[in-house]
Structure 1
Amino acid sequence: MDRELSATTRQAQKQKRIWQIGIAVALVAAAVFGFRNLITPSLERSEIRTAVVERGPVQATLTATGEVVPEHEQAITSPIQARVEQVLRTSGEEVKPGDQVLLLDRSFTQLAYDKMKDEQEMNQHKRVQLRLQLQKKLNSLESQLAIKRMSVKSLQARLEDEQYLLKIGGGTQEQVKQADLNLKIAQQELAQLERDIASERQLLQADEQELGFTLAMQGRSIEELERKMQQAEVRATHRGVVTWVKDEIGSTVNAGDVIVRLADLSSFKVKASVSDAFADQMQPGGEATVRINNTDLKGTIAAVEPTVTNGTVTFYVALQDNAHTLLRPNLRVDVYVTTATKPNTLRVKNGPYFNSASNSDMVYVVQGDELIRTPADIGASNVDYVELERGVQPGDEVVISSIKDYEHLEKVKLK
């Protein structure tokens, strides 16, 4: 026969069931929490870089590659076709005005110079001979002229005599006409001689002038050759440093070939290039920043080359401090050309996160131990800062490192 349980027993059984239910609930909760942790991705906080949103200016820039070059550089070209005979200064040596850098072989030019001098002397002798020949001819014509003038006077006197004889009845009309005809013929011959002498004088003057022009041109050519032979002793025209020299002794250079480059290393500029896709944004006077070892040097675009080479546009940046101690010839630098300026906007430090095209409208904000995906419009940017136009507030901590494997998630847990 069954006996009724005592109150103490019933109380013990009830507590036992409560404990069993509590343990089961705890196990279920632990299982749910553990599963949630298994399906929720997480990141070590040390694996990410963050930056705090702040207010400040942002300049939108284009990045170009640049090279430091001397602000003033001189290229010396060969004045003649010659061989390199001697190299007196090598690259890197300092020179002052008048210092000889290179010597060219002048033998070929010397032959041309001697030939031209001989031709000039021959033309000078020809000029003297021509003057003597023409003067001899003029002397002969002037003698004929003097004789003809006397003949005219004689015929004029004969005419007067015939006219007198006709008047007193001692002559005839035919004799007067014949004397008059002879006089007119002599007068015509006299006039012709005078014209011939004038023509000969003009011819002499023209021939002398032509020879004078020839001699003058030869003289200038001789002076030019003399100057070129002097220039074959290649000398510096101003103080500077030899940056390059044609140092292959015996090699041939043509007239106009660059054989020496001299640079004034007291001031510099930057030669930069950028894709031709941004050619319309490269304008003289535009602001630019040159970065050397984390040091920024301000400058402006001084000139833009009109031609496009291999898909790039070349431009030159004039530096405010063109004699900075960090500037060195041929030093590679980064150039940032300013295209727009936001004087007071929300900004955050730039980082790899913003280099992805898929991140143009989202950022991850740190909230406690989670990263929350937040809509945010990204505006102007440069190598240092990125503008965030909406979605964040000053003081928010934003991820700036790459988290490419988590970009599709709304939340990421931090450990």
Structure 2
Amino acid sequence: MDRELSATTKQANKRRLYWQIGLALVVLACAIVGFRSLLTPTLSRDKLRTAVVERGPVVATISASGVVVPEHELVITSPIQARIEQVLLKAGEQVKPGDQILLLDRAYTQLAYEKLKDEQQLNQHKSVQLRLNLRKTLNQLASQLTIKQMRVKSLQAQLEDEKYLLKIGGTTRESVKQAELNLKIAQQELQEIEHAMATERELLKADEQELGFTLDMQGRSIEELQRKMEQAEVRATHNGVITWVKNETGSTVNAGDIIARLADLSSYKVKATISDTYAGQLKPGGSAVVRINNTDMQGVVSSVEPTVTNGIVTFYVALQDKAHQLLRPNLRTDVYVELASKNDVLRVMNGPYFNNTSNHQVFVLQGNEVIRKPATLGISNVDFVELENGVQPGEVIVISDMAGYQHAEKIKLK
């Protein structure tokens, strides 16, 4: 027969139940905390790169590759078709005005020069001969003119006599008409001789002008050949360094072929290349920064080549300090062309995180945790990224690559 439990026993059973429920709750809480700890990722603090949010300017840029080249380079071409007789200076040697670099064989040009001089002398003799022939012709015509003038006077006198005889009845009217006809014929012959003399003078003037033009052209050709023969002693025209010279002794070069390059190493510019994707953003006069060994040099885009080669656009940057001590020929540089700028904005140092993320968020360091926050990125360059919202000055931002944690709300640091 069942008996009712005593009050002591009931109270003991109740306490045991409470303990069991409490123990179960503790175990459940520990399980939940342990599970959550398993879900929350962890990251070694040593692997993080961080930067502090600050206020300052940010300039948006596009990056290009550059090489330092002399600002002024003289291209020396062969003045004549000739054979390289002697190479006196090599690439890399410094030169002063008047220093001879190459010597070209001038034999062929010398022959052409002598031929032109002979032709000029022949034309000068021809000019003298023209004048002598004209003088002879004019003398003959002058003699004929004198004779015709005397005949005209004689015929005029005969006509007067015939008219007088006709008046007194000593001749016929036919004789008077014949005398008039003879006078007209003589006068016409006199005019023809006068015209012939004027024509001869005009012909001489035209021939002399033609010969004069020929002599002038030959004179200029002679001067040009003489100058080219002098230039065959290829000499430097100003101070500089030989950057290239055609040193194949005995080889033949044509007129206009490049035989040497002379650079002025007292000033430089930068030749840069960039993808044609950015061709529309390149404008002459735009600001640019050239970086050499962590030293920034200010400059402007001086010119952009109109052609695209293999998807590459070439442009030149004129430097403010063209003679900076770091500048060397053929030195590789980084070039940043400025597109836009903001003066007083929130910014953080650029890093791998901003190169690999497309989400509008950042990771902020708070104690032993990294918290994900929404943020809007603005303009950027190789050094800084603008943060338009989501952060405050002084906060520490993770800038290392966080591609594996993009969906984590929180990350523990260890």
The normalised TM-score by structure 1 is: 0.90
165-174 or 230-239: bigger deviation: 165-174
> How far apart, in 2, do the equivalents of 1:70 and 1:24 lie?
83
Q: What is the letter of the counterpart of residue 59 of structure 1?
A: V
1:113 corresponds in structure 2 to 113
Among all aligned residue pairs of Structure 1 and Structure 2, give the percentage whose two residues are the same amino acid: 70
In the TM superposition, residue 43 of structure 1 has moved relative to its aligned partner by 1.3
Q: What is the letter of the counterpart of residue 236 of structure 2?
A: A
In the TM superposition, residue 278 of structure 1 has moved relative to its aligned partner by 2.2
1:8 corresponds in structure 2 to none
Paired residue total = 407
2:252 corresponds in structure 1 to 252
What RMSD, in angstroms, separates the aligned Cα atoms of the two structures?
Answer: 2.7
In the TM superposition, residue 411 of structure 1 has moved relative to its aligned partner by 2.1
Pairwise mapping of residues 256-271 of structure 1 onto structure 2 (< 5 A)? 256-271=256-271
2:374 corresponds in structure 1 to 375
Cα-to-partner distance string for 1:249-299 (whole Å, 9 max, x where unaligned) = 223322222222112111111122222322232222221111100001111
1:389 corresponds in structure 2 to 388
> How far apart, in 1, do the equivalents of 2:153 and 2:255 lie?
71
1:6 corresponds in structure 2 to none
Q: What is the letter of the counterpart of residue 377 of structure 1?
A: T
325-334 or 26-35: bigger deviation: 26-35
1:101 corresponds in structure 2 to 101
> How far apart, in 1, do the equivalents of 2:311 and 2:348 lie?
33
* SS of aligned partner of 1:358: coil
In the TM superposition, residue 24 of structure 1 has moved relative to its aligned partner by 7.8
199-208 or 24-33: bigger deviation: 24-33
In the TM superposition, residue 22 of structure 1 has moved relative to its aligned partner by 8.6
In the TM superposition, residue 344 of structure 1 has moved relative to its aligned partner by 0.6
**2:390 is the alignment partner of 1:409:** no
> How far apart, in 2, do the equivalents of 1:357 and 1:40 lie?
21
In the TM superposition, residue 164 of structure 1 has moved relative to its aligned partner by 2.4
CA change 1:357–1:50 in 2 (3 A) is closer
27-36 or 405-414: bigger deviation: 27-36
* SS of aligned partner of 1:389: strand
Pairwise mapping of residues 251-330 of structure 1 onto structure 2 (< 5 A)? 251-330=251-330
Pairwise mapping of residues 2-41 of structure 1 onto structure 2 (< 5 A)? 33-41=33-41
Contact 2:357 2:403 in 1 (8 A): no
Q: What is the letter of the counterpart of residue 379 of structure 2?
A: A
> How far apart, in 1, do the equivalents of 2:368 and 2:112 lie?
90
1:7 corresponds in structure 2 to none
> How far apart, in 1, do the equivalents of 2:99 and 2:314 lie?
34
Q: What is the letter of the counterpart of residue 368 of structure 1?
A: G
2:74 corresponds in structure 1 to 74
26-35 or 281-290: bigger deviation: 26-35
In the TM superposition, residue 26 of structure 1 has moved relative to its aligned partner by 6.9
Structure 2 gap ranges (5+) = 1-10
Structure 1 gap ranges (5+) = 1-10
Contact 2:94 2:239 in 1 (8 A): yes
* SS of aligned partner of 2:386: strand
Cα-to-partner distance string for 1:96-150 (whole Å, 9 max, x where unaligned) = 1111111222222222222222222222222222322232222222211111111
Q: What is the letter of the counterpart of residue 352 of structure 1?
A: P
> How far apart, in 1, do the equivalents of 2:255 and 2:295 lie?
44
* SS of aligned partner of 1:58: strand
In the TM superposition, residue 197 of structure 1 has moved relative to its aligned partner by 0.9
* SS of aligned partner of 1:51: strand
> How far apart, in 1, do the equivalents of 2:348 and 2:258 lie?
51
1:3 corresponds in structure 2 to none
144-153 or 20-29: bigger deviation: 20-29
* SS of aligned partner of 2:248: coil
Cα-to-partner distance string for 1:64-90 (whole Å, 9 max, x where unaligned) = 111111222211222122222221121
In the TM superposition, residue 15 of structure 1 has moved relative to its aligned partner by 11
1:226 corresponds in structure 2 to 226
> How far apart, in 2, do the equivalents of 1:413 and 1:110 lie?
89
Q: What is the letter of the counterpart of residue 412 of structure 1?
A: I
1:238 corresponds in structure 2 to 238
Q: What is the letter of the counterpart of residue 266 of structure 1?
A: S
Contact 2:52 2:395 in 1 (8 A): yes
307-316 or 322-331: bigger deviation: 307-316
**2:401 is the alignment partner of 1:399:** no
CA change 1:352–1:184 in 2 (3 A) is same
2:7 corresponds in structure 1 to none
> How far apart, in 2, do the equivalents of 1:338 and 1:38 lie?
47
Contact 2:270 2:317 in 1 (8 A): yes
Pairwise mapping of residues 181-192 of structure 1 onto structure 2 (< 5 A)? 181-192=181-192
223-232 or 112-121: bigger deviation: 112-121
> How far apart, in 2, do the equivalents of 1:278 and 1:125 lie?
69
In the TM superposition, residue 408 of structure 1 has moved relative to its aligned partner by 2.9
> How far apart, in 1, do the equivalents of 2:238 and 2:15 lie?
106
238-247 or 106-115: bigger deviation: 106-115
> How far apart, in 1, do the equivalents of 2:357 and 2:31 lie?
40
Pairwise mapping of residues 193-204 of structure 1 onto structure 2 (< 5 A)? 193-204=193-204
In the TM superposition, residue 168 of structure 1 has moved relative to its aligned partner by 3.0
